[in-house]
Amino acid sequence: MYISNYRRRSDAVFLLFIVFLLFCIFRLLFIQFFRASYLAQIAKKQHNLFVELEPRRGTIYDARLKPLATNISADSLYASPNEMPQKDKDNIIRQLIPILKTDYNYLNERLTRKKSFIWLARKISPGQSEEIRRLNIKGLNFIKESKRCYSNGYLASHLIGFAGLDNNGLEGLELYYDRYLRGEAGWAMYLRDARQKRLNLWEDMALAKDGYDLVLTIDEVIQYIAERELDKAFREYHAKGASIVVMQPRTGAILAWANRPAFDLNEYSSSDKDTRRNRLICDLFEPGSVFKIVTASAALEENKISEEDRIFCENGSYKVGSHILHDHKPHGWLTFREVVEQSSNIGTTKVAQRLGADKVYQYVKLFGFGRKTNIDLPGEISGMIKEPRFWSKTSIGAIPIGQEVGVTVLQLVTAVSVVANGGNLMKPYIVKEIRDKHQKAIKSFSPVVVQKVVSGSTANRIKKILTGTIEEGTGKMAKVPGFSSAGKTGTAQKLEPNGAYSHNKFVASFIGFAPAEDPEIGIAVVVDEPRPYYFGGVVAAPVFKNVASDVLRYLRSNAPLKEVSITDETNRVS
């Protein structure tokens, strides 16, 4: 009886082992044939580390190949919270706060996560990196990344723009040409040991493709001169804002581009949106008397008047529709030349009445107003000009003198360059070449003629009149020592929220070029709400004089900037 029970138990145990063995065999077969690839992937993840290889972001150079935006190596701090003893985390956080200049909650939230990798701070300074290394904290490590560096800080800040932490362009040229500058990321698959530490062995790799470099038309020295003089006026007249642009009239190449207020590109996150606004192409304003070059050019081109024809300026008061038009000081009889030189509103309006609304509008469009210049920068607006069918009875006395029309500073410099270069509207551009890392040009940009605006003869006649504006008229403070120059002043009242013109808010402006007989530079200066003086001839004209004087001397003391062939984009259009 006892032996029989023992055998039954032995058989049961044996059977149990057989069933278990068969189960294991079937399980192994299932894993081998149905789960092999899945488990192989898990093993591969455990023993392989995927690392993205960051490309070098392209360098931005000025016209003489001086770097304006480059890359430097920087440490980025990360933590492995799973490796840190829980009891030590509070002490670690308190040691990091004064170094990283962050708050307790931010670090605490990150270090309490159950992760093996989490960023604490990206692209920190060498000083911060050294301080953290001295703490010798387990679970804190660094990764080398590239950081965008702007060696000149504030210089050309609105033009260059900036790139973010991940080296993606966010503003200015950095944004507009981001697809060229950023390059293409690569990757590498490194091997790891059983403790998850990376070995210096890689299984597979695709190299990163570095970004292309930009060569600008901007000259660093000319940029500095323009910013220095603009900053003086901005501070002296306690202005709300100010802008200046310097352009080659014959090509449309931009030599300098500046706004005030400005910001440090290396500390862009600490500046506000208003400071970062690119006023040269984003701000709309009524230009005032600088706009009279359009009316004057149209009248001469259409043979409606000649320089010595006399116009009665009504002794300073003239009714247009239901509106009484005034001059800044009364005039009687003036020649057409003197009307422009003395910036007579009444004289200009009488000339515009001879032309008619349709012709005035036609030439406003020909000079490039009311549409984008298509500059290679983001955020440009088109400005505003009403079609004649929407004009009121007083518009013929407003638009020809720069009211009821909205323009940008860039449009003003392209308009005055029409007169300077013999009648062509040029497309402004900032980038001269895009190059690879071997300095081979992959793309070049040439000057483009948008359209013919006026004949060379008309342009020369207007040029002489604008020379007289500086010699005898309202622009005497723009006279450049040692060089001839031509230009036009402007003083425009700003609109109040109720639609009425303000009596204490003005925009002072000056547009011009030098030397007058063979212009090398065209300049537009605009100062928003200067105080206590607000006339363009007092506030903006001296900026033109100082910039033109120093720039022309600089250009003569250095090798000339390379000029390229000009492309005709379109025929003249109305």
Residue 160, CA distances (Å) to 149, 172, 374, 485 in order:
12, 5, 17, 30
Name, in order, each residue with C-beta under 8 angstroms of 150's C-beta and a sequence gap of 6 or more: 68, 69, 157, 160, 162, 264, 265, 266
So what's the pLDDT on residue 46? Answer: 53
Specify the range with the lowest mean pLDDT, choosing from 74-78, 96-100, 196-200, 500-504. Answer: 196-200
Per-residue pLDDT tens digits for 507-535: 999 999 999 999 999 999 999 999 999 99
Taking the C-alpha atoms of residue 507 and residue 510, their distance in angstroms, rounded to an integer, is: 10
Q: The dihedral of CA 467, 469, 473, 478: what is its sign?
A: negative
CB atoms < 10 A from the CB of 227, how many?
24
Report how far residue 511's alpha carbon sits from residue 381's, in angstroms, rounded to the nearest whole number.
20
- The residue ranges of DSSP E strands in 28-89, in sequence order, are 48-53, 60-61, 67-79
What Cα–Cα distance (Å) separates residue 47 from each residue in 31, 78, 118, 194, 206? 20, 21, 20, 7, 19
Name the nearest CA neighbour of 193 among 50, 49, 58, 55: 49
Arithmetic mean of pLDDT over the chain:
88
pLDDT band of residue 16 (cuts 50, 70, 90) is: confident
What pLDDT is recorded for position 429? 97
Is 444 in the active site? no
Query: pLDDT tens digit string along 416-475?
Result: 999 999 999 999 999 999 999 888 999 999 999 999 999 999 999 999 999 999 999 999
Closest CA relative to residue 372, chosen from 463, 280, 443: 280
pLDDT for the residue 36: 65
Residue 103 has pLDDT above 60, yes or no: yes
- Band of the pLDDT at 116, cuts 50, 70, 90? confident
Q: Phi and psi for 397 in degrees, rounded to 5? A: -100, 0
Give the other-Cβ count within 10 Å of 193's Cβ: 9
> What is the C-alpha separation between 514 and 483, in angstroms, rounded?
7
Identify the pLDDT of residue 189.
Answer: 60
Tell me the fold of 51-216. Answer: Penicillin-binding protein 2a (Domain 2) (3.90.1310)
The CA radius of gyration of the chain, in Å to the nearest whole number, is 34
Residue 48 pLDDT exceeds 70: no
* Segments making up each domain of the chain, as ranges: 51-216, 220-261+276-568
Residue 120 above 50 pLDDT?
Answer: yes
- Average pLDDT score over residue span 302-315: 94
pLDDT the model gives residue 257: 97
> Which pTM value belongs to this model?
0.83
> What burial letters (b/e) apply to 518-532, b meaning 16+ CB within 10 Å?
ebbbbbbbbbbbbee
| Spatial CB neighbours of 440, under 8 Å, sequence gap ≥ 6 | none
pLDDT top residue among 310 and 72:
310
> Of these residues, 76, 243, 289, 344, which one is catalytic?
289
Encoded tokens for 421: 């270069």
Backbone angles phi, psi at 503, to 5 degrees: -105, 5
Return the pLDDT at 430.
Answer: 97
Condensed to tens digits (0 to 9), the pLDDT of residues 347-397 reads: 999 999 999 999 999 999 999 999 999 999 999 999 999 999 999 999 999
CA–CA gap between residue 318 and residue 329 (Å, rounded): 13
What is the per-residue pLDDT for 201?
45
Place of tokens 């930009």: 214
Contact between 246 and 428 (Cβ < 8 Å): no
Local structure of 126: helix, strand or coil: helix
Q: Is the confidence at residue 4, as pLDDT, over 80?
A: no
Please check the confidence at residue 276 and state whether its pLDDT lies above 90: yes
Element (H, E) at 433: strand 431-435
The tens digit of pLDDT for each residue in 164-194 reads 877 889 999 999 999 999 888 776 665 555 5
125: confidence class by pLDDT, cuts 50, 70, 90: confident
Reading the block at residue 473, the tokens are: 């008229």
Q: Which residues pair with 532 in a beta bridge?
A: none
* Separation of alpha carbons 191 and 211, rounded Å: 28
pLDDT value at residue 434: 96
Tell me which of 82-91, 152-161, 221-230 is least confident. 82-91
pLDDT over threshold 50, residue 564: no
Pick the range with the lowest mean pLDDT from 121-125, 277-281, 382-386: 121-125
Residues 250-273: what's their mean pLDDT?
A: 94
Report which of 349, 384, 366 is spatially closest to residue 458, judged by C-alpha positions. Answer: 366
Question: Does residue 257 come out as left (phi exceeding 0), alpha (psi in the -120 to 50 range) or beta?
Answer: beta
Answer yes or no: CATH 3.40.710.10 is held by domain 220-261+276-568.
yes
Is pLDDT of 199 > 50? no
The reported pLDDT for the residue numbered 544 is: 97
Q: Give the HSE-up count for residue 373: Cα atoms under 13 Å, Cβ half-sphere.
A: 31
Least confident of 10-19, 212-221, 503-512: 10-19
* Across 478-493, average pLDDT: 95
